[in-house]
Amino acid sequence: MPRTGMPSMPFMRTPPVDQKDWRTLADGQTVTMFTLTNDRGSQARVMTWGGILQSLTLPDREGRMAEVVLGLDSLADYVERSRNFGATVGRYAGRIANGRLELDGREVQLDVGSGPHSSHGGPVGFAKRNWTGRPDVTDDGPGVVLTLVSADGDQGFPGRLTISVTYRLTHDDRLTIDYLALTDRATVLNPTNHSYFNLSGDPERLILDHELQIEADAFAAYAPDKIVTGDLAPVAGTPFDFRTPKPIGRDLFEVNDQLRIGGGYDHSFAVRGQGLRRAGRLSEAFSGRALEVWTTEPALHVYTANTVELVGRGGAAYRPHCGVALETQHYQNSPNRPGFPSTVLRPGETFRSRTEYRFSVS
């Protein structure tokens, strides 16, 4: 894609995919780290634990490389206090009310862990599994294919599900994520990537002045228990109006019931149109970096790290609003809301979803 103000990059001799065994889990499984390097020198690090995007370094307007996603230093950190940094979340991103849904006339009870609702696929969802991985280099750029088999009854979800996630760092600085899944029994599926972005390159510089624009006229409203009501509320005249670009922090602290329930922005926006289309754009003036989000999914979930507070990569102090997650997905609790697009996957069907994070500088 076109880039302005970008200095030429030297010829790269780094292998496009570097594969290394990174750590060993307590049960003896090996966690593998894949480093993807494109022709511009940009790099993405993806590990098999949690299907996690562990690192993404990209140039600013001066060509200086820096991290643009939040992360942690050690595997132990990811296992014990991950906050889903960069993780592949599933089977179902977001909440399913009381962990219950009806599927083909039968009630399904999901594992809910310590809370009242099923959240992000259950206590031991995709983000807490060790996937298998293999390199996948094409003309577009280096990639890695991660695969996981989720057994029938896993976290209460019916059906033996086989899912693959392909990360690719293209030579024009797009990070593409392709999902493909099959099941042997009717189930529900709603995976997403849970990366937190901070385009400044400094995670201690909050994202309140990042400008965000979202291609949405409505968002999924919450009831007081933070379960979606099933209504798509108009953004016009509310702090949720991002139809034209504005700083994330401009209306974040307004007195508003939805912001109070979410603790800030933690809501799904109804993306206009269908097929692969632009869902939004994030930009940061200090670095000149910009990010366009493209998706085939019906919604873009925006979470402004409202409760994040821990020591992150390199000892950085991560605190509320240190990053913003831009998650492409279906709506929360869709299986219990017939007005929302279906998330049911049946035998003989193939689930496909594509997300593109398109980076540029100005």
Positions marked active-site: 194, 327
Rg (CA), the chain: 19
Place of tokens 């999902």: 179
CA-wise closest residue to 332 among 258, 270, 276, 259: 270
Task: For residues 297 and 225, give the distance between their C-alpha atoms in angstroms, rounded to a whole number.
Answer: 25
Edge-to-edge strand ranges of the sheet holding 161-169: 132-135, 143-150, 161-169, 174-183, 351-361, 289-295, 277-283, 211-214, 246-247
Element (H, E) at 179: strand 174-183
Q: Which residues make beta-bridge pairs with 107?
A: 102
Place of tokens 């993806």: 46
Q: Which residues make beta-bridge pairs with 227?
A: none
Place of tokens 């280099």: 137
